[in-house]
Structures are given as C-alpha cells and as structure tokens.
Chain A
Amino acid sequence: MSAEVEGHRGSRILGGTDARYAAIATLSTLVVLGGLTALVVTSPGWPSVKEKFFNRQEFQYWFSDVAHAFVANVQVFLIAEVLILIWALTIAVIRGLPGPVFFPLRVLAVIYTDVFRGIPTILVVYLLGFGVPALQLSGVPSSERFWGTVALVLVYSAYVAEVYRAGIDSVHPSQEAAARSLGLSRWQSLRHVIIPQAVRRVIPPLLNDFIGLQKDTALLSVIGVVEVFRQAELGQAADFNYTPLVIAAVLFIAITIPQARFTDWLIERDRRRQLAGGGTG
C-alpha cells in the first residue's frame, strides 16, 4: 500500500507518467481480482457456498432484522466512545502526575493499563456481564448490556490512555515552561496548553482504536445482549444459512471503512501541513 503511494508520488515528481501509472494500476488490479474471483467461482464447492453464504432471498429476508439489531451496537459504541475519551484521559493524566506524593496513584494507573490490556476483551465482557449482576447488589444495574458496555469502556480506555500518554509526551517541555512562566498552575498548563496539542496529534490512532471498539461490540452477544451478531446467529440457526452473518459483516464494513478513510485523510493532511509549516518562517 505504502509502496504504491510512494510510487505514485514519484511519478508525479517525474511528471507526465500519470496516465501510464493509472493504466498499469487498473490492469494489475483487474488481473489480480479476476484471478481470485475465477479461483473461487470455479472451485468445486462454490455452488453450495454461494447458496449458504450469499443467498439473495436470505439476504432480503433477514436484512431489516439484522440491520435493526445493529442499532444496539451503534448505541453501545457511541456511549462507550464518549466515556472512553474522558476516562482514558483521566488515566493518562494520573500517570503523568509528578512527584513522590502521587506515586501510589501512578502505580494504580500503570496496573490498570497493564491488566486491561492483558486480559482478552471477551473474558472481561463475560466476567463483568455475568459476575456483577450475580452479586445482586441493590441499586446496581443488572442489565447485561450495561455491564457489557462497561467492560468495553474499561478495556479500550487502557489502550486509549496509552495513546493519550504518547500524545502528551510528544508536546515539548518548553511548552509547559512557557505556560508556567505566565503564572498558570500545573493543571491550567495541562488543560489549556498541553492537552489541546496532545489530543490533536493523537486523533488518527484514537480513531483507529475506535474502529476496533466498534467491531468488538459484537462480543456482547456472549452475555446474551441482542445485537447484530446475536441476531445474525438466530437467523442462521433458523434457516441453516450463513447469509445473515454476511449481512452483519457488510454492516460493520459499511461503518468502519469511511472512518478508516477519514483517518487516512487526517494523517495525510497533517503530513502536508507539516511539510508546509517547515517552509515558512
């Protein structure tokens, strides 16, 4: 991918080879895709796979049910994303607190990120989703969907906290010195000078983590939350046909691909801005 982009840029610099580049790229793509398609379609099992996975009638029959269940996934990841942005930033800030007084808090933050990055997400979902409601504590929600969302927030915050931390570390210490020299407190420097710059720099990796999170909402199916994967499974079991699962896959792809392209666009824009910034002054 990157080699391709490099090559393209190279041809731009040389000039006049754009059309030839496009022609070769198209031809090569057609050959590769055509070859792969031919390989699949001519395989001995293709007719039954087509029937079981890419069945038009099944697709039309199940699409609205599966799409409807997908709304639950969207709700879960939207709520989780807001909470993750806040909670992960809290962890990252705690981890950066200076001085011996905050040593215990820093240790807790490190343990938190280590533990939640270490346990497979599906286990956290399972343990929280079944474990906490089983405690039968009064006043504590017992809904699986609630605890499943909490599990995703806990796990993904550990990753996003590290992303934030990298961003905070990437802001040069001279920025904090400048803020402090004006009389801003440590917290005010962080709030107005360090974090705004850090967040801007980590938006692409942050979106990347969010794409991972969105796919992992399907894990809530293991604790019985009716969401897209669960609904697709029900459809599959009813008709002994896998097409509903393909519908779920298509839905996930439909929302994640635009985000991936958006992330690429952001990265490219930052890169260009940096190049332009280097030229001025």
Chain B
Amino acid sequence: MSSQPALICEGVRKAFGKLEVLRGIDLELAEHEVVCLIGASGSGKSTLLRCIDLLEPIDAGRIVVAGRDITGRGVNTNQVRRDIGIVFQGFNLFPHMSVMGNVTLAPRKVMGLSRSQAEAEAMELLNRFGLADKRDEYPDRLSGGQQHRVAIVRALATHPQLMLLDEVTSALDPELVAEVLNVIRELAEGGMTMLIATHEMGFARDIARRVCFLDEGVLLEQGPPEQICSSPREERTQQFLERIIAAGRM
C-alpha cells in the first residue's frame, strides 16, 4: 500500500481551443514526496495542477491518485477534490466569511461534521499555523502571509492526501515570502505529499527532492534540484535558469 505512488499522470493533454497547454505530461509522485514544478509563465504549471484537482477536464491521458483513476468514468469528482488540497495563486479565500467560516465550510457541508466538531478541528489547525487569534477576522483584514496560511488551513481541513500549491509566493511582498516558505517546509516535514508550482528556485532547491521543468506543455527535464540548477541538460532549462538568476530569484 505504501509503495503505491501518490500521484501518476500519464500522457495528460489539455487544450483551450486551439491552444495546446499540456502536450502529454508524464509525472509520478511517491508518497511523502515533495516535487516542484518550474517553468516560465504559460508553460502549463497552473493548468496541470487544475487538471489534477479536476477543475479542468483533460482531453487525453490518465490521472491516478493513490491507486484510483480519477479521470475515468463514474468517478465522484466532489470526493476526489475533497481528497486533494489546492492552494491557489491568489488564495481565493471567501471574502464574505470569517477565517473560521472559510476553514469549516467544507468539513460542515461536505463531510457532514457538526459546527462544534468542525470548529474544534479547525482550531487545532489554526493553532498549528499561528492563526488562532484570527479566527473571527475577515480575509480582507489579514496580511498576505496570513491569507496564505488560511488558504493552507482551509485546504488541510478536509484531510487531503495530496496538496497542490500554485505559485503561492507570487502574490506576496518579498518580506512575506520567507514566512510562507517556512509554513510549506513544515508541511513537508509533516510528511505531506506536495506538488508545488513555483518561481522560487532557491526554495525549490531547499524543499524539493525533485524539480520538474515544464516548457510549453512538455515536461522537458526532471531531477534532483542540485543537478537541474547546476548542470541542466536541456538548453531551454539553461535559458530559463539564466533568466531566473538575472531576475534575482535564485
């Protein structure tokens, strides 16, 4: 059971009209593995994450999560989404709900927990991420880093087996990035399987066992972060890394 991969993508293709965004992605994540997806804007990182969370239907290929083909027929998509946590680039918190409301919505409405049960569980998570005193605040009163942590807690509240994080640092001021990365590091140390789209090469090097370079919808190159950073095989990867270094994101 434990040797079974947490996630398998096989020949995943996705097009928006004539624009082919994913052109046959093969990717495998072992349980407790943390993998970073890197690549320029428009390379298909976000789309791949959205496809894995079944927010976009795929055109071809197969996605298997914990041994279950989630792209086959007769799959309960709501159940699948519940078992996969996603943190969006802009966090997408619900502005009309307090932090507690955001976190307990799915446990109450999807998992059928009572309000008191859901709030008790939520308090545990909020405590763990240093948000206990923010439980009654509304998202627009929180800093970017706090919003990010609420988004993580909200995703964790349904006990997902796999977390997808989409460019979580790009909406933040530089001084908040470290705070956010610490939180993700803690999640990784807790054994969470994670697929992270990021621009932060330093972070990718620090946290991921493996880095995958996505270029125009193709998984061009993957390997340990040190190898990808220091001696990439593909010319496109080199060019991307040079641009990243020039932008001071390394």
Chain B residues with Cβ below 8 Å from A200 are: 96
Contact partner of B55 among A180, A192, A197, A277, CB < 8 A? A180
Chain A residues with Cβ below 8 Å from B111 are: 183
A182 and B88 in contact, given A188-B109, A280-B141, A281-B143 (Cβ under 8 angstroms): no
Chain A residues with Cβ below 8 Å from B50 are: 177
Contact B96 A197 (CB under 8 A): yes
Question: Which residues of chain A from 157 to 188 have a CB within 8 Å of any chain B CB?
Answer: 174-175, 177-185, 188
Question: Which residues of chain A from 187 to 245 have a CB within 8 Å of any chain B CB?
Answer: 188, 192-193, 196-197, 200
A182 to chain B, nearest CB (A): 4
Chain B residues with Cβ below 8 Å from A174 are: 88, 90, 92
**Mask of A100-118 contacts with B, CB within 8 angstroms, 1/0:** 0000000000000000000
Chain B residues with Cβ below 8 Å from A178 are: 88, 92-94
Q: Tell which of B50, B96, B141 has the most Cβ of chain A within 10 Å.
A: B96
Q: Is B225 an interface residue (CB 8 A)?
A: no
Q: How large is the interface on A (under 10, 10 to 19, 20 to 34, 35 or more residues)?
A: 20 to 34
A193 and B53 in contact, given A182-B81, A280-B141 (Cβ under 8 angstroms): no
Q: Is B179 an interface residue (CB 8 A)?
A: no
Contact partner of B154 among A177, A180, A182, A196, CB < 8 A? A182
10 nearest CB pairs, A to B: A183-B82, A178-B92, A182-B106, A183-B110, A174-B92, A181-B86, A183-B81, A183-B78, A277-B140, A196-B96
16 extra interchain contacts, Cβ-Cβ under 8 A, other than A182-B158, A184-B105?
A174-B92, A175-B92, A175-B94, A179-B94, A181-B155, A182-B81, A182-B106, A182-B110, A182-B154, A182-B157, A183-B78, A184-B78, A184-B106, A188-B109, A197-B95, A280-B140
19 pairs across A/B with beta carbons < 8 Å? A174-B88, A175-B92, A175-B94, A177-B88, A178-B94, A179-B94, A181-B84, A181-B86, A182-B82, A183-B82, A184-B106, A184-B109, A192-B109, A193-B94, A196-B96, A197-B95, A280-B140, A280-B141, A281-B142
